[in-house]
Structure 1
Amino acid sequence: MTALALHLWQSTLVLIAAWGLTRVCRRNAAEIRYWIWLCASLKFLLPFSLLQQLGDYLGRSLPAPITLAPRWIETGSALFVPSIDGVGGLNHSVLPNLTTIAITVWALGSVALLLRWLTQWLAMRSMLASAPYLPMDLPIPVRVTAAGLTPGVFGVFRPVLILPRAVMRELSASQIQTVLAHEMCHVRRRDNLTAAIHKLIEVAFWFHPLVWWIGANLLREREAACDESVIEDGHEQVVYAESLLHVCRLGVTARFAGVAASSGGDLKQRMTSILSPERASPIDQPRFALLLMTAMALCYGPVLAGVTTGAARATSDGGRIIFEAITLTSSEPVWWRDAKFDPAGRLSLDHVSLRDLIARAYPDSRVNGDPELIDRVYYDIRASWRSDSEASERSVYRELLKNILRTNSNLQLYVKQGCDIDCAWVPGELVAGRTYL
């Protein structure tokens, strides 16, 4: 629950930043604002902790240490994954019950929304199954419907254009062309795909009110982007505005799942924008730089924070390490590995070979040896250890490797440093294994 609260807190901050960026770009193209809102939506699917874990892995894999002041490491870690203390004042016996209730309510809400969405989608699909095709020079098939719908595009991967008979009968040829241009813009932009992705986010995070606010902004900006595209293609503004008014008069706004319709969004606001002589301004360099720096900070910031903390954790010298117990048992060869490192003095490795263990102790190393012993024999390892001071993960793996090779095999491990190509001619230092005299 703590991880979920942290993720929601971070996603909300990103959402507030996205709102600020859309205000900065309010005079620019709606396409820009649409992508800002979409990125805020996608943030709910990508916790910062995953990016920091990726950076932590990269940092622990570095062959050389990174020298950083401790305050930078602490600040970088706390910026994206701050600690959240436990909830005070609650009995620990009550928390499991509250967690169960919360999960049950969430699951019921998600299932209800998913069933509603699926029901609407199946109803539209059933309606279109009996609708006749209309041959038109368009990149997607056209279905003619008699129901009270507005023109729209249904489907994600195989979209179909919905064209009601009333629209074909009442609108002029030039008005129909503007409506078709609007719908083809939805197809080119793949709006149904992005709408479906956000719909899944709404299903998963239905309890967060700002998620629904994102959906309303996505709908408004996508319709504004298509309106701008139709005007830029050379269609007359008055004719286009009249066609939208006729469409709304003849049908109803599409409320079916998976349909991008020309009558979506705030109609009054759209009419004002379409008939206005002012057009969207191209984005200037300061705004572009602001968007670029924000995107880089959100994408690379957590990774860099993880790299610094991982590198510091892997390369710091914690003094002498003494293993109190090491259990080594044979394991079946499987495709997955599992490692659990506890800085308090516990280490658990499942299904690892000697090559895996060497790679953890000496990242980016090249290992020469008998494949039968190094690659094809797997172990489960359990170890407990203590150190004079805080020990790094890499130093613990190195000391573990020395103990295993010294007591359980006839292998010798040499480490060669300062060579890239002619390593065969560089003498190696014996760091693990038995020494024969």
Structure 2
Amino acid sequence: MTDMLHGLLQASGWATLAVLLLGAVRPLLQRLGGAALVYRSWWLLPLVLIAPLLPSPVPAFTDSAPLLALGTVLHVAVVPTDAVLWPTLLIALWAAGAACVALAQWRGQRRFERALGTLQPRADGSWQASADPGLPALVGLLDPRVVVGPDFDQRFAPVERDLILQHEHQHRRHGDHWANAAVALLRCLFWFHPLLPWATRRFLFDQELACDARTVDPHPALRRIYANALLKAQLVHPVAPMACHWRSQPMLKERIGMLKEHKRNVVPRWSGQLLVLGLCVGISTMAWASQRAADTQTRITAEPAAGTDGSSSPDAATVGAQAKLMSPPAYPKSAFEQNISGKVVLRVNVDAEGRTSGVSVISSTPAGVFDAVSIAAAQKWTFEPARRDGKPVASALQIPLTFALDQPEPAPAP
């Protein structure tokens, strides 16, 4: 539970940094590359959320003899067990909020699709609805369709209809419906994030601006006609969570203003591309590195000691077991309250598949205080199995664990 909460908080922190950074550099990106570059910069958000999930290399646990003595000092800041229920309650609250947001979005999508009425295929490849809850739009995820309203032919001139259909096909060609689905998922997972509503609106606005630019850039002479088509359509109905709407009233002024801009030269566009690439790579690498640093704090790490079987050096054909995941044991509440420190020496048997096959206590000081938590933690450890002549073999490790509480520094004498 605590790992899940830590992951959510870490992801929220990186999402906050990404959103604030995108908001800060947006005017510069707009000048360098226009709406398409601004929309492309939103790749930073999923990248910083995915980067901490990527595996990081774990330092080798041992590369010496099959039986090794490895040591580590475990400094633990322990929360009393009375507070253990808080992570469970917080996870339950988060899950309830995510379920409510998912239900609300599903109902909104279903309401929109039902309000379309009967769909009839058209000769231009689109579909015509019997009602207009907010059309034209690209509707659907796995099989998206361009759906127009019942008065589409009467409201728009032929050239305007062609531009509108090109706009919706641009959405489908660039996978904007999948991007909207990803945004819907993020709204469920991070429903508690205060910046998410603004980021969602800004992302959808940038998506429409980028699609407008892709549609009219090949036809600069049709910009005025395109703007007139926008003015003819004012969206007054609630939008669906996963639909790319042609009409978007809150940003109408910004969309028309974008149409007045001229194309930029190639050099600034390439400069903007490099800037976006640098931001994505740099911030994502920082997120990945922070996950690696967190791993080294939560896993037991130790330096290999000399072999305990009397050999001065291991056989060249033998490679000892190596750690994959070694979560530290919990500090017992009674020992924490009484400020007790101690040491436990474990013998851990590792099978040929790298799993812990047996754990026994060789010695413990004080006796019996830290035995149970040490054995419980060791039973969950996983390893890269030892190898002899290139084949995995069973092995044993002798691992001393030192339990020590972090002591506060004494106050300076007056």
Which interval holds the TM-score relative to the shorter structure? 0.5 to 0.7
Correspondence for 1:116: 104
For residue 227 of structure 2, the aligned residue among 218, 241, 266 is 241
For residue 35 of structure 2, the aligned residue among 5, 30, 43 is 30
For residue 177 of structure 1, the aligned residue among 138, 162, 179 is 162
Distance in 1, Cα, partners of 2:305 & 2:46: 46
For residue 294 of structure 1, the aligned residue among 265, 268, 279 is 279
Instruction: Give TM-score, length-normalised by structure 2.
Output: 0.65
Match runs of 1:5-404 below 5 Å: 5-27=9-31, 28-41=33-46, 43-44=48-49, 46=50, 48=52, 50-51=53-54, 54-57=55-58, 59-60=59-60, 93=82, 95-96=83-84, 98-128=86-116, 130-136=118-124, 138=125, 141-234=126-219, 236-248=222-234, 252-253=236-237, 255-264=239-248, 266-274=251-259, 276-280=260-264, 282=266, 283-301=268-286, 317-320=303-306, 340=326, 342=328, 353-354=351-352, 356-357=353-354, 380-382=357-359
Distance in 1, Cα, partners of 2:302 & 2:85: 42
| Residue 272 to residue 105, structure 1, CA distance change in 2 (3 Å) | same
Deviations 1:261-314 (A, max 9, x none): 11125111111221x143355445544433333333334455567789999x99
Match runs of 1:411-430 below 5 Å: 413=388
- Bigger strand share: 2
Distance in 1, Cα, partners of 2:62 & 2:198: 43
Higher-RCO chain (CA-CA 8 Å, sequence separation at least 6): 2
Distance in 1, Cα, partners of 2:104 & 2:61: 47
| Residue 62 to residue 209, structure 1, CA distance change in 2 (3 Å) | farther
AA paired with 1:134?
Answer: R
Report SS of the residue matched to 2:56: helix
Distance in 2, Cα, partners of 1:112 & 1:379: 41
| Residue 349 to residue 301, structure 1, CA distance change in 2 (3 Å) | farther
Deviation (angstroms), 1:25: 0.8
Deviation (angstroms), 1:34: 1.3
| Residue 142 to residue 348, structure 1, CA distance change in 2 (3 Å) | farther
Deviation (angstroms), 1:61: 9.5
Report SS of the residue matched to 1:206: coil
Gaps of 5+ in 2: 65-74, 310-322, 330-342, 364-380, 397-414
| Residue 280 to residue 97, structure 1, CA distance change in 2 (3 Å) | farther
Deviations 1:379-407 (A, max 9, x none): 71325579xxxxxxxxx999x96xxxxxx
Deviations 1:398-434 (A, max 9, x none): 9x96xxxxxxxxxx9468xxxxxxxxxxxxxxx99xx
Distance in 1, Cα, partners of 2:229 & 2:195: 33
Deviation (angstroms), 1:174: 1.3
Kept in 1: contact 2:184–2:242 (CA 8 A):
no
Deviation (angstroms), 1:104: 3.7
Residues matched between the structures, number:
332
The percentage of counterpart residues that share the same residue type is 18
Instruction: Give TM-score, length-normalised by structure 1.
Output: 0.62
Kept in 2: contact 1:220–1:266 (CA 8 A):
yes
Aligned CA-pair RMSD: 4.5
Deviations 1:14-73 (A, max 9, x none): 3323333333312113222112224314534x262x33xx1224x549999xxxxxxxxx
Report SS of the residue matched to 2:148: strand
Distance in 1, Cα, partners of 2:291 & 2:134: 51
| Residue 270 to residue 194, structure 1, CA distance change in 2 (3 Å) | same
Distance in 2, Cα, partners of 1:308 & 1:295: 20
Gaps of 5+ in 1: 65-82, 324-336, 358-377, 387-395, 402-411, 416-430, 433-437
Distance in 2, Cα, partners of 1:306 & 1:122: 39
AA paired with 1:261?
Answer: H
Distance in 1, Cα, partners of 2:38 & 2:76: 33
Report SS of the residue matched to 1:201: helix
AA paired with 2:186?
Answer: I
Distance in 2, Cα, partners of 1:61 & 1:318: 7
| Residue 86 to residue 135, structure 1, CA distance change in 2 (3 Å) | farther
